[in-house]
Amino acid sequence: MPFEHSGEIDASTHDSLYRIRHSLAHVLAQAVLEIREGATLGFGPPISDGFYYDFVLPEPITEADFPELERQMRRILKKGQRFYHEELPKDEALARIDEMGEPYKREYAEELCEKNGIDALSFYRNGPFVDMCEGPHVDTTKEIPRDAFKLRSVAGAYWRGDSRNTMMTRIYAWAFEDKTALDAHVEAYELALERDHKKLGRELDIYTIDNEIGRGLPLWLPNGTVIRDELEKLACELEFIDGYQRVATPHIAKQDLFYRTGHLPYYADDMYPPMELVEETEHGETVKEAYVLRPMNCPHHHKIFASSLRSYRELPLRLAEYGHVYRFEDSGAVGGLLRVRGMCMNDAHIYCTEDQIADEFRNVIALYDRAYSILGLKDYSLRLSCWDPEDPQGKNKYVDEPEAWEASQAILRKILDELDLDYVEAKGEAAFYGPKIDVQFPTVTGREESVSTVQLDFAIPKRLDLKYIGPDGEEHVPYCIHRAPFSTHERFVAFLIEHFGGAFPTWLAPIQVRVLTVSEQFDAYAQQIVNELRSDFVRAELGSMSDTVSKKIREGTMRKIPNLLIVGEREVETNEVTLRRYGVRAQTTLPFATFKEKLRENIDSRALEFVL
């Protein structure tokens, strides 16, 4: 079938903005191929605020190249290139892709045909550029406003999202109906960047990264450690109420354990290399063993379950730990607290019977809801992450038990439906041992990240020969539910920094109260206030003694301290304080005893707002 004008596609299939963004992705690819001859293509879809395209480049492209790329794109738009559509039978289509010199497109095309039984593939051409694509597109590039798009950033992205594959260069861009909409979006984006956790983490002394320690291994400063401690305290309280028992386990284990569980070889590329140790036994024999830094806590918890003979009367058994794990993220993916190599996870494993799965999942989801409500988190979505039985790499990615997969996914789907929760299903996103429900949060830049998860494991307990004695007196294998409502400290604190813009509620703030004096003669009274608050376990401190009061207030505001207490002659005489809340212009003078009482109520209730 020859190339046809794209206008023949039903215009109702996608709106005009989708067509503009999709067409601009092709224009970007054309421009990149013109300035980086020999580049090869990955995917280039429209996204919620624009589009991106993935490339393997013979020479890097950086943001310094954006002006040249944008000029090239605008020259293409000015030419008014038409978009033509063509469908080719499978064999001709694959030959076409080979002629184009696109090995990644060829790989995807073959898989698409094999998995979906497709016998023809679709192509679009504009000018000299041809791409395998389903469309739709605008009729001509003249329909695309030349001032309503902007290249945004460059990032690394693995081909097909798999760390075992080639790292590509992804170029992101914004695109809108007109310049006004683009400018408004860019302004909102730049304001959002003011809340970026990497920026605020540095300014508020929350964490640091040191090259001599290693990439992706954050050092938590005192302010950041306070936030971690408060979150861990909250998690422990919620878990205690729900019947969890806390355990503690080492950071390393023998490599053989991870082969038994199946984490190896699945996670080999994401683990630090093994440590080969040679030891002499008490009998004088030389033994060589390999140990690894654990990438997850579950094998250790499984061994705690296996440490004694369990009865069905003990189930569900809920074991919880803030456990340290280590994952060797690719250097191109490491950044800030969202992508790290060493992390501390709010982990728990629930061992239960099949009849208990539904109730335990409901309880876990209720715990998540309570935790997020306390933190004021509302903007999240749920994703049911399933296996993909048609994935050619399936047996290398998932436990090969199709019936167990279908049954366990049906259980989770039924639970979500019965709770009337909105969710999307995502094939190919499951853990290797079972399906999971992921909690997705948007970052300040609009990218969606998985923050929390709850997973149903039907495979590893069987592999480790975990057993309990049932009411029939026989041995049975338990199911295991993996859950982490507070994710890792690293990832969760990153989201909270951005959520609160660094201005944490009083209970979570590293410094809860700073006392400021209008002159040095009132320092003794101020220190008395600090001492009394600290004796009540309030994180209080005395502000600088030498600066002017206005400078002290400004510095406290920059540090986003929620409560500044100002004291002068009147406050000393009346045993009062003047309260200045972060983000509130009005100041309130009140007895110190009243402030202390209200402060304690605020902290104990973990209130998001300070109410006098």
The reply to whether 187 and 214 lie within a common domain is no
Measured in degrees and rounded to the nearest 5, phi and psi for residue 239 equal -70, -40
Tell whether 197 is covered by a domain: no
Tell whether 611 is covered by a domain: no
The reply to whether 143 and 267 lie within a common domain is no
What per-residue confidence (pLDDT) applies to 394? 62
The reply to whether 57 and 186 lie within a common domain is yes
The reply to whether 468 and 332 lie within a common domain is yes
Looking up residue 37, the CATH number of its domain turns out to be 3.30.980.10
Residue among 270, 315, 272, 308 at smallest CA distance from 291: 272
Tell me the mean pLDDT per 10 residues along the chain, length 612. 37 73 97 95 94 96 96 96 94 94 94 85 95 94 95 92 88 96 91 90 96 95 98 97 98 96 85 92 87 96 97 98 93 85 97 95 94 92 89 73 90 93 90 89 76 91 96 96 95 94 97 95 95 97 87 94 96 96 93 97 95 80
Measured in degrees and rounded to the nearest 5, phi and psi for residue 300 equal -65, -40
Residue among 467, 463, 465, 461 at smallest CA distance from 479: 461
**Residue where a domain stops, chosen among 480, 500, 520:** 500
Instruction: Specify the number of domains making up the chain.
Output: 3
The reply to whether 493 and 510 lie within a common domain is no
Report the distance separating Cα 353 and Cα 337, nearest Å: 37
Residue among 351, 456, 469 at smallest CA distance from 413: 456
What per-residue confidence (pLDDT) applies to 267? 81
The reply to whether 517 and 559 lie within a common domain is yes
Other CB atoms closer than 10 Å to residue 296's CB: what's the count?
Answer: 21
The reply to whether 147 and 278 lie within a common domain is no
The reply to whether 160 and 294 lie within a common domain is no
CB 291 within 8 Å of CB 275: yes
The reply to whether 77 and 117 lie within a common domain is yes
Looking up residue 542, the CATH number of its domain turns out to be 3.40.50.800
Helix (H, G, I), strand (E, B) or coil at 408: helix
Tell whether 397 is covered by a domain: yes
Report the distance separating Cα 514 and Cα 529, nearest Å: 10
The reply to whether 514 and 496 lie within a common domain is no
Amino acid (1-letter code) at residue 147: D
What per-residue confidence (pLDDT) applies to 5? 36
**Strands (DSSP E) along 13-115, which ranges?**
40-41, 46-47, 50-56, 83-89
**Residue where a domain stops, chosen among 467, 500, 533:** 500
Report the distance separating Cα 84 and Cα 7, nearest Å: 8
Helix (H, G, I), strand (E, B) or coil at 167: strand
The reply to whether 551 and 477 lie within a common domain is no
For the whole model, what pTM was predicted? 0.81
Residue 278: give the domain boundaries.
207-500
Tell whether 201 is covered by a domain: no
**Residue where a domain stops, chosen among 138, 160, 191:** 191
Tens of pLDDT, residues 109-150: 998 888 878 889 999 999 999 999 999 999 999 999 999 999
Tell whether 198 is covered by a domain: no
